[in-house]
Homo-oligomer: A and B are copies of this chain.
């Protein structure tokens, strides 16, 4: 680090949250309507500034998660940093974006202060001619968060974070289908998920149908990294309508 007599500039640090969940088999993100300038009235990702000098970044993210979404004990990981000068008209604001995964149906948000928060289908925001415009660079942050979720579904047990404590295999399949925007063969999915060692483990001989044969219940297994992985078939032909995979540049790295 350079340590001269000169004073380095300081910045405002914020956290922003990409909170994803599944609602009626579609991927949704939690948005809030901004009540103040800038971007008053526009939708934005939940987030806020550090509370005080001594607050850790993840602590701030969890605080916002509780304050704005009423969520606790959910999967949370850092996505990256967004700090382009000029991204916020108020000055130099650097935002640390986080990805949170909420299990489905935690109600449209309990009675939190975030009265204006609402779950929005991700495609409505990310699709080329999007209905919903987001404040700041939040559309890009959302795109990166979704891409992160897609990738982690392949190699980790993240999908179980979308489910309740116990779940059926077809519920798990819905997660993959919604996040990837593809349709999968139930029979092959069944085998594949079972053959990934430690991914899911049986949770009682229980059952709970609606129509059709009752299904076994499972819970998340011990492993974090999947082997064999749940590879997304690269050879196309599976994309389902509204696939939001287009028009997003997921990776920022450049080669020489």
Residues on A lying within 8 angstroms of B by beta carbon are: 1-3, 8-14, 16, 34-36, 44, 47-57, 73-78, 80-81, 83-85, 92, 94, 96, 103, 157-158, 160-161, 220, 224, 227, 234, 251-256
Contacts and interface: CB of A to CB of B under 8 A. Distances in A.
A255 B36 contact: no
B75 A256 contact: yes
B1 A44 contact: yes
Contact of A14 (B1, B157, B234): B1
Nearest to A2: B48
Contact of A10 (B13, B220, B254): B13
Contacts of A253: 75-77, 158
Given A3-B35, A78-B80, A253-B77, A49 B161 contact: no
Contact of A56 (B49, B84, B103, B234): B84
A234 B227 contact: yes
Contacts of A1: 14, 16, 34, 44, 47-49
Nearest to A35: B3
Across the A-B interface, give the 5 residue pairs with the lowest CB-CB distance, nearest first. A8-B49, A77-B253, A2-B48, A10-B10, A3-B36
Given A94-B13, A161-B255, A56 B83 contact: yes
Contacts of A94: 13, 57, 94
Given A53-B92, A83-B96, A256 B161 contact: yes
Nearest to A227: B234
A186 to B, nearest CB: 25
A103 B44 CA distance: 41
A68 B229 CA distance: 40
16 contacts: A1-B14, A8-B13, A9-B13, A9-B50, A10-B11, A10-B13, A11-B50, A73-B256, A75-B253, A75-B256, A77-B251, A94-B94, A103-B256, A160-B255, A161-B256, A224-B251
A100 B175 CA distance: 35
Contacts of A83: 13, 56-57, 96
A255 B162 CA distance: 10
